[in-house]
């Protein structure tokens, strides 16, 4: 029974984890290196100082051999750095408390979308003309476009972020949705600002390389210290590592459950074999009498297998009922698979029946070969 429950739970978790790994994050993590910087407010207290540092650093990195493009963003996808702001749509009544408009918000440079591989769906990306004193602009994701302008073009519309100066900003582009908080979560509303117009001290670099991005790390770190000897980067890793780490907890749960289920399956097989082997030993005299009275070896085989399988099936049915009830409480842990997944509830019992049969087979074969004369003498 316990084996059945563990195997079904492990099967559901494995299917859930595989579904999670197949999720499209909305960007391309291949050949991409990331690292985080946080400029000290005491030294970089003015916006022009922040912009000056990142402008120079991005230009330096862009000229390095093997670099295709360099992006910068305040909140890197699939990390703990998530910033959300309330926004309003110009020309529309204020949102009611029940429909409060909130979006994950970040500042990016003009090459960010290209560097991380987020597709541009409409309009244009940010460019070098989007400076501090130029018209305030904004880029939204496809979710906002479809939710608030269904069947219409959002380019040229205006949004306001009250917490960021309350300035009306023109929508100049629409980009694809990305998984920001986690692969298992909905993309939700996402807003991007040009960092030239909204600088932040902390930024993550996204460097797309022509080949192995990890080899670029020492060179890029050197450029940072060359620009400011007291400044350093942290959390240096490839974007693929970031994606892998975002599913590390489900991977651990799946691995542990898989190990427990495998151990339980082995113990169940050994247990069934031991019980049936002991049963055959205890019934040697009975088997000898049956054979002496004309029973065939195959009749003995069917008897032993039938009795063993009957007990195994009873335990299996009880385990299935228990698993059906237990999996109800783990619905929230699953992604892309139902806690009543028919394939899992069909395949696991078949596997267990096969294991039970193999465990019974050896004692049953032994019972077939009992010599009735020897068995009767033992009595």
pLDDT one-digit tens code per residue, 259-277: 888 888 888 888 887 877 7
Domain boundary among 201, 226, 245: 245
Among 187, 189, 153, residue whose Cα is nearest residue 170: 153
Q: How far apart are CA 315 and CA 164, in angstroms?
A: 63
Residues 6+ apart with CB under 8 A from 91: 158
Residue 86 parent element (H or E): strand 84-86
Q: Are residues 146 and 46 in the same domain?
A: yes
Taking phi first (over 0 means left), then psi (-120 to 50 degrees means alpha), and beta for anything else, what does residue 31 get? left
The pLDDT of residue 288 is: 65
pLDDT in tens, the chain (379 residues): 677 888 888 888 888 888 888 889 999 999 999 999 999 998 998 989 999 999 999 999 999 999 999 999 999 999 866 788 999 999 887 766 667 789 999 999 999 999 999 999 999 999 988 888 899 999 999 999 999 999 899 999 999 998 888 899 999 999 999 998 888 888 889 999 999 999 999 999 999 998 889 999 999 999 999 999 889 899 999 999 999 988 888 888 888 888 888 888 888 888 887 877 777 777 666 666 666 666 677 777 788 888 888 888 888 888 888 888 888 877 777 888 888 888 888 888 888 888 888 888 878 777 666 665 554 555 5
Q: Are residues 158 and 39 in the same domain?
A: yes
Q: Are 90 and 101 in contact (CB under 8 A)?
A: no
- Cβ of 184: how many Cβ atoms within 10 Å? 17
Q: Are residues 229 and 259 in the same domain?
A: no
Specify the pTM.
0.80
Q: How far apart are CA 80 and CA 96, in angstroms?
A: 29
Q: Report yes or no on 105 lying in a domain.
A: yes
Q: How far apart are CA 49 and CA 227, in angstroms?
A: 13
Task: State how many domains the chain has.
Answer: 2
Residue 17 parent element (H or E): helix 2-21
Question: What does residue 132 show for φ and ψ, rounded to 5 degrees?
Answer: -60, -40
Q: Are residues 235 and 262 in the same domain?
A: no
Residues 6+ apart with CB under 8 A from 142: 121, 174, 175, 176, 177
Question: What does residue 216 show for φ and ψ, rounded to 5 degrees?
Answer: -80, -15
Q: How far apart are CA 27 and CA 23, in angstroms?
A: 11
Q: Report yes or no on 25 lying in a domain.
A: no
Among 254, 269, 312, residue whose Cα is nearest residue 16: 254
Q: Which neighbouring-strand residues pair with 132?
A: none
Q: Are residues 277 and 158 in the same domain?
A: no
Q: Are residues 144 and 262 in the same domain?
A: no
Q: Are residues 188 and 323 in the same domain?
A: no
Q: Are residues 241 and 253 in the same domain?
A: no
Q: Report yes or no on 26 lying in a domain.
A: no
Q: Report yes or no on 142 lying in a domain.
A: yes
Q: What is the pLDDT of residues 135-156, one digit of tens each?
A: 999 999 999 999 999 989 999 9
Q: Residue 153 has what DSSP assignment?
A: -
Q: What is the pLDDT of residues 195-245, one digit of tens each?
A: 999 999 999 999 999 888 999 999 999 999 999 988 989 999 999 999 998
For residue 348, the enclosing domain spans 2-20+248-378
Q: Are residues 238 and 256 in the same domain?
A: no
């Amino acid at each position: 029974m316990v084996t059945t429950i563990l195997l079904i739970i492990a099967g559901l978790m494995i299917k859930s984890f595989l579904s999670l790994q197949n999720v499209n994050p909305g960007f391309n993590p291949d050949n991409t290196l990331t690292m985080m910087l946080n400029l000290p407010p005491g030294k970089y207290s003015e916006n022009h100082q922040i912009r000056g540092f990142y402008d120079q650093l991005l230009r330096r990195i862009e000229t390095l051999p093997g670099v295709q493009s360099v992006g910068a963003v305040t909140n890197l996808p699939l990390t703990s750095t998530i910033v959300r702001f309330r926004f309003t749509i110009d020309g529309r009544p204020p949102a009611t408390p029940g429909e409060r408009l909130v979006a994950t918000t970040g500042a990016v440079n003009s090459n960010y979308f290209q560097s991380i591989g987020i597709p541009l769906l409409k309009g244009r990306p940010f460019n070098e003309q989007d400076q501090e004193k130029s018209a305030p602009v904004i880029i939204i994701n496809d979710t906002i476009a479809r939710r608030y302008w269904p069947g219409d073009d959002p380019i040229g519309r205006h949004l306001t972020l009250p917490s960021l100066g309350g300035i009306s900003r023109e929508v100049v582009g629409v980009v694809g949705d990305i998984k920001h908080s986690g692969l298992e979560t909905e993309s939700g509303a996402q807003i991007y600002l040009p960092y030239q117009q909204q600088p932040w001290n902390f930024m993550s670099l996204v460097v797309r390389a022509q080949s192995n991005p990890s080899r670029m790390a020492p060179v890029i770190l050197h450029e940072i210290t060359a620009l400011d000897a007291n400044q350093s980067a942290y959390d240096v890793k490839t974007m693929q590592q970031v994606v892998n780490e975002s599913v590390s907890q489900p991977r651990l749960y799946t691995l542990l459950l898989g190990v427990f289920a495998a151990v339980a399956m082995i113990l169940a097989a050994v247990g069934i074999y031991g019980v049936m082997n002991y049963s055959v030993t205890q019934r040697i005299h009975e088997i000898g009498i049956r054979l002496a009275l004309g029973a065939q070896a195959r009749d003995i085989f069917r008897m032993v297998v039938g009795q063993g399988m009957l007990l195994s099936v009873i335990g299996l049915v009880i385990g299935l009922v228990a698993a059906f009830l237990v999996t109800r409480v783990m619905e929230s842990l699953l992604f892309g698979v139902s806690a009543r997944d028919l394939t899992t509830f069909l395949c696991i019992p078949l596997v267990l029946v096969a294991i039970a049969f193999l465990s019974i087979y050896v004692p049953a074969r032994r019972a077939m070969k009992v010599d009735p004369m020897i068995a009767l003498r033992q009595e």
